[in-house]
Amino acid sequence: MSIQLGEPVPDLDLVLTGDRTLKLSAYRGKALVLYFYPKANTAGCTQEGQDFRAMTGAFAASATVILGASRDSLKAQESFKAKQNFPFDLIADPDETLCRAFDVIKVKKMYGRESLGIERSTFLIDAAGVLRHEWRAVKVKGHVAEVLAAARALT
């Protein structure tokens, strides 16, 4: 399965904080920001989440929902959300189904060693469920403002 710009996103199952399971189609009717981050409670991931938290009202005014996703367990996601007071849900994807569908699992190098991990990426899906924008290999600084501008352009 390969998700392409301008194409409908498959109706995947999501495991959300609050121990809820929904289909991606549950968000139809509003735009959806789906951002992937490597690991809960790490510096860059925390900053990115805080940046999205700070702009939640602006996204809501543009009829856009925010969801964060990582390979962390539901328990880790619940803890991260509570600790950071995120007003949006986080997705637990320990089996990497969602991550692989969006092709965000990449070989990463750290201290000369290679491992598979999430490449920080964000996707903007329109109200009809079509992928409209993607950002890969994201740098946190200024990213949320760029995503917000794209979300506003959808409305």
Check residue 53 and report its DSSP letter.
H
CA distances (Å), origin 54, targets 64, 82, 86, 142, 155: 14, 15, 9, 12, 21
Q: Which of 26, 2, 30 is nearest to 14 (CA)?
A: 26
CA distance 46 to 112: 25
Q: Are strands 131-135 and 121-125 parallel, antiparallel or unpaired?
A: antiparallel
Side-chain-side CA neighbours of residue 85 (13 Å) = 1
Catalytic residues: 45
